[in-house]
A and B are shown apart, each in its own frame.
Chain A
Amino acid sequence: MTERFPGYDVLSKRSTPSWNQQTRTVIDARLATNPEAHAFFDSVEWETLKAICARIIPQPADRQHPVPLAAMVDEKITTGATDGYRDARVPPMGEAWRRGLGALDAEAMARHQRSFGQLGAAEADGLLSAAQQGFLTDPAWDGLCAELFFKQRIIPDIVGAYYAHPTAWSEIGFGGPAAPRGYVRTDFDRRDPWEASEARPGREAVALRENQRVGRS
């Protein structure tokens, strides 16, 4: 349930002609991800990664099943799902993550005398901002440029994981899987009955009603 698309759940379409079997298989596996599963990161790195994920994509506190961002990052590394290119200045995916997490933790210790995972939101955001702008130079970075780590690993790996999850699709009103049915109405302000309805001011009740009908086949 989100305010902008009340009652819209992309998963309600799972049994409709908008989802083919291959999509069901793929999304079922994603939904079954254990949020604590990590094969690549050790327990210290894991806490740091989870803390970073929580700041890059803050999720509602009352969300029953938050998108398991850290586990999706770990899975990307363990399955070797490379991007297709690697900046010559940045080590391979796993190595970059390991070094970058260690360095952010070291920066947290130096600046706040606590591990990154124990920082408050503002402190964590301050460090991430500094990384984004390339201001962090603790020796723990060991030649890895903080700005590139932020731009080429933190952002694509975490943001890419979040918006690949049905929970995010429902949050933004994306139609989600669409084969074989596809769409019919493509003009301005037109929606098919199996698309999200936006709760513009004054039509919240209409949107809720329409969104509850989305999964009818």
Chain B
Amino acid sequence: MSDAADQIRATNGRAPDVLRVGGWTTMRQYPDDEEVDFVIVGAGAGGGTLACRLAEHGFSVVALDAGPYWRPLEDFASDERHQSKLYWTDERIVDGEDPLQLGANNSGQSVGGSTVHFAMVSLRFRPEWFKARTKLGYGADWPLDWREMWRYYREVEQTLKISGPITYPWGPKRPRYPYRPHQLNAAAQVLAQGAEATGIKWTTTPLATLSAPRGLAHPCVYRGMCVIGCATNAKQSVLVTWLPRALAAGAEIRDLAMAGRIEHDTRGRATGVRYHRDGLWRFQKARNVVVAGYAIETPRLLLNSASPRFPDGLANSSGLVGKNLMVQSNQAVWGMHEREIRSYKGPPSLALTEHWNYDDAKDFFGGYCFMSQGTLPTVAAGIHAKRGLWGQRLVDEMQRYNHQVGVKMVGECLPQERNRVTLADETDRFGLPVARVTYSYCDNDKRMIEHALAAMRQNLAAAGVGELFDETDDTCHLNGTARMGDNARDSVVDADCRSWDIPNLWVCDGSVFPTCGGVNPSLTIQAIACRTADRIKALAARGEL
């Protein structure tokens, strides 16, 4: 079986049927010179979902993705080192006071995007976050109404057959999750015990991995290697959910297709995308262009598309393209349990608490959740190495790997214009300037992290975990860099993800987040994509595309 890493698979009228070993499914194809309704750059949580819903609405759609079209059942090994093939590992330069680590836990380069290796945590935003400025006093308001978003959350949860609790402990009432919750592993029980002992609520984590059969996919077998790619298709990634539907509805997906530049005509309207595939630079004509490359590649493409008419890049009259990059802080507390935990079994985050997302009596803005953790060996060793252990001390500590247990936060860092994506002088293998990613925490972020570390220590101590230590420098999801808003001065796109400057240029991914909330973003990205597709359908019906 040849590897897909450098082999185009979606071609000749067919694409991989990812649910069947060796299977193929029919794929409609469009010539480059046929002006399709939409060309979408990126087939991950934003672009893949949007491709599906637009195709189902009857639009002609071509989705480009820089990554390979994996067949999880055949291509995925149980091996951290090998599976780094799922990450975006092309060079990016990082600087700032707190330079980010990019790649493994925040960037994907695969058809299906980083959902191919995400931890499947599928949480809704707290309703007030959509009006963070007005209701909570920080960040910026979203131009979206939470009630509408909750209807789209429901659509995504049903599509992904999220397994979760019957009753969710926080926020407005929501229906029960489609599939039953997964059994708690020992690491999750530790979080639950700590929460019970300290009097805060906890829940089984809503997860996009099957707890019961679904079509050709089996329930999760608790292999525990979710973040290096699910080899059994229990994980409900974009690759195995939205994209088969997109193909069935007539969308074309082009794997190993790297977008280099969006072109426009003399009126300033986008005309299509220049992209590299199969050794050649090509140009796909389109009536609309959607950028869905996530918070680094999206601004990079918009900036790399600068022209005499748009010298600062496309959609950038506000000057905000690339700015307000937000990470979620991902600090953790770890310790040793007397009993065997073996956190490598099961999805990594089976239990969580959103207590501090819904409590406003704190000395900082924003919130965070924290979750139980599963760590594979190289990650576990990296955690010890970060606190300075190496040599025999590291080797000895790792002998207790099966007793190690911890909890990790997903924290809401505030938008700051100084945190941004710009273009570096260096170029990549396609000759395109690479991204320079600048990041520094603000004082509020630091207060939140201190608060969370204390809360997590308290949780583990109350559960009887000893030898606690902090992991102080990890971050996860990326958002911002093309924020949505109410007007062209303060934002890059409107509520429909349409750019203010170029009416047929859209952005649909985590880049549009004005604030990032204290939960994992994938469910919200997919909900926004579903909403955007419906809005495009409505606009088209009114002749307003």
Contact = CB atoms under 8 A, between A and B. Distances in A.
Given A84-B90, A181-B221, A160 B436 contact: no
Interface of B is mostly: loop
A187 B186 contact: yes
A87 B95 contact: yes
B80 interface: yes
B436 to A, nearest CB: 7
B341 A188 contact: yes
A179 B382 contact: no
Contact of A85 (B92, B341, B381): B92
Nearest to B380: A163
Interface string A26-55: 110010000000000000000000000001
Nearest to A180: B232
Interface string B233-267: 00000000000000000000000000000000000
B342 A84 contact: no
A20 B77 contact: yes
A88 B401 contact: no
B154 to A, nearest CB: 30
A128 B388 CA distance: 12
B325 interface: no
B189 interface: yes
A181 B224 CA distance: 11
Interface string A173-195: 11111111111101111110001
A123 interface: no
A83 B399 CA distance: 26
Interface string B63-77: 000000000001111
A162 interface: yes
A159 B380 CA distance: 10
B289 to A, nearest CB: 26
A195 B222 CA distance: 13
B92 A188 contact: no
Interface in A104-144: 125, 128, 132
B221 A164 contact: no
A97 interface: no
A22 B1 CA distance: 9
B383 to A, nearest CB: 11
A169 interface: yes
A57 B79 CA distance: 20
A88 B99 contact: yes
Contact of B77 (A26, A83, A92, A184): A26
Contacts of B107: 84
A149 interface: no
Range of interface residues on B (Cβ < 8 Å): 35 or more
A84 B87 contact: yes
A55 B391 CA distance: 6
A178 B75 contact: no
A188 B346 CA distance: 13
B402 interface: yes
A14 B155 CA distance: 42
A156 interface: yes
Contact of B99 (A87, A164, A171, A190): A87
Contact of A162 (B90, B186, B340, B381): B381
Nearest to B390: A56
A11 interface: no
B342 A195 contact: yes
A174 B401 contact: yes
Contacts of B222: 182-184, 186
Given A26-B79, A183-B224, A191-B342, A58 B92 contact: no
Interface of B: 1, 74-82, 84, 87-95, 99-104, 107, 183-186, 189, 220-225, 231-232, 337, 339-342, 344-346, 376-378, 380-382, 385, 388, 390-392, 394-395, 398-399, 401-402, 436-437
13 contacts: A18-B78, A26-B79, A56-B390, A128-B390, A155-B385, A156-B385, A159-B378, A164-B377, A171-B398, A172-B399, A174-B376, A183-B223, A191-B342
Given A160-B381, A174-B402, A198-B340, 18 more contacts: A19-B78, A21-B1, A22-B77, A57-B391, A83-B103, A84-B87, A85-B437, A125-B391, A161-B81, A163-B398, A169-B377, A172-B398, A183-B223, A183-B345, A186-B183, A186-B346, A191-B342, A196-B402
